[in-house]
Structure 1
């Protein structure tokens, strides 16, 4: 009897190895709060330098800022893929500026990346396969039929739509500023629509991940109890 009572009090609300901590870790690997902040620093350096210095020096300072951040993040023990990835982005943007001779092209790659992300996110929702749900299931071993659970599907639909809205808004505004040759405003828009909106979307994604872990974990636990009976 004592053993049976001990089994009944065991927490089975989430599957083994899942839960809030793991879900937040997944979002952190997608960038995390610090990653969002780090991505704005080279932009601030580039826009500020572009107002005061020749284009060649502006490009150089942006690259130095990206390289400095990469070294700083590696010293702090962050994942090298995240640290080096940000430098690669800065290098590509700076290379395009150097080739075209136009400061506004520093933002061109990011603008069209927003558009691509918007199309992918919206398309996945229309196909009833929201991207955040695919990611959640992948990191949990692809062992859940998450799309058959209406609550889980709705949660990931909301999270993916939130990402699509942010990406679409970034593309629309920044593409308009790009066309009007307003480089300074482009920088301000990139910063203003960067970290704050990314953090908001990250919160929605974490919520969707938690809903999935809890809902599908409960179902798994109920199935286990029925089999035991």
Structure 2
């Protein structure tokens, strides 16, 4: 039986990586991260000038316009739908609270929930970044058997948890103080820029763990060759 060459396996792995959507693509890509800030940019100034009702209408109008643009450009549908639903929830809470700062309440509590879930996933030895990465790539869950790989996913997941905790602590403090304008600045400043950093850190850790895993497998095969010859 002829074994595939190393170059053939490498080419196959490259093809799989090229075909599998990245974490950033799953979130709607760079454009999706930027789109998420546009309703906020519309909401806060309109609220300051014309009041809460006009701000709600403006945010919804912008969200619907972005949704239509994404449909026309045939971008991934899930981020477009989730973005529209997210804005609808935010403006509904702002309406119920009767204050513009209520627009940010859903995002504040969501980031806390994410942080807790990510920490719990590390504690139970199923780091979410590892689960999500390998579900997207279709590589299964064999990575949990390799200590270095599992440790790398732990670090990546912990990094995301820190990002979420930082967002929650900063924005909840601004919310309690009633600084709606600074809430918008914090949401945008701690939004896609920190997400981009987290994605880059994740890619680096995962690829480094993958190389360590390949080295261990190659070493095991080398150790087995003398035994096979005997």
User: What is the TM-score of this pair, normalised by structure 1?
Assistant: 0.85
CA distance in 2, matches of 1:207, 1:24: 16
Q: Deviations over 1:144-184 (max 9, x none)?
A: 42122122122211211111111000000100111111111
Aligned to 1:113: 110
Residue segments in structure 1 that go unaligned for 5+ positions in a row:
none
Size of the alignment, in residue pairs? 224
Contact 1:137 1:143 in 2 (8 A): yes
On the 8 A contact 1:70/1:87 being kept in 2, the answer is yes
CA distance in 2, matches of 1:223, 1:141: 24
For 2:16, the equivalent position in structure 1 comes to: 18
1:1-229 equivalent positions in 2, closer than 5 A: 8=5, 10-13=7-10, 16=13, 17-19=15-17, 21-22=18-19, 25-141=22-138, 143-216=140-213
- Quick one: structure 1 residues 122 and 84, their matched pair in 2 at CA, closer, same or farther if it must change by over 3 Å? same
The alpha carbon displacement at 1:215 in A equals 4.6
- Equivalents in 1 of 2:41, 2:49: separation in Å? 13
Q: Distance in 2 between matches of 1:54 and 1:42?
A: 15
Distance 1:29 1:193, change over 3 A: same
Conserved? CA contact 2:71–2:77, under 8 Å: yes
The answer on whether the counterparts of 2:129 and 2:156 sit within 8 Å (CA) in structure 1 is yes
Q: C-alpha offsets along residues 108-151 of structure 1, whole Å, 9 cap, x if unaligned?
A: 00000000000011111222221111112223445342122122
Partner of 2:16, secondary structure, is coil
Counterpart of 2:75 in 1: which secondary structure?
coil
Residues 52 and 156 from structure 1, CA distance in 2 versus in 1: closer, same or farther, beyond 3 angstroms?
Answer: same
How many angstroms does 1:14 deviate by?
7.6
CA displacement at 1:11 relative to structure 2: 4.2
- 1:80-129 CA-partner distances (Å, limit 9, x unpaired): 11111101100111111122211111000000000000001111122222
TM-score (norm: length of structure 2):
0.85
| 1:68, distance to aligned residue in structure 2 (A) | 0.7
- Alignment partners' CA distance in 2, 1:13 and 1:58: 53
Unaligned runs of 5+ in 2: none
Q: Name which structure has the greater RCO, CA cutoff 8 Å, separation 6+.
A: 1
Offset, 1:49: 1.1
Contact 2:153-2:205 within 8 A present in 1 as well: yes
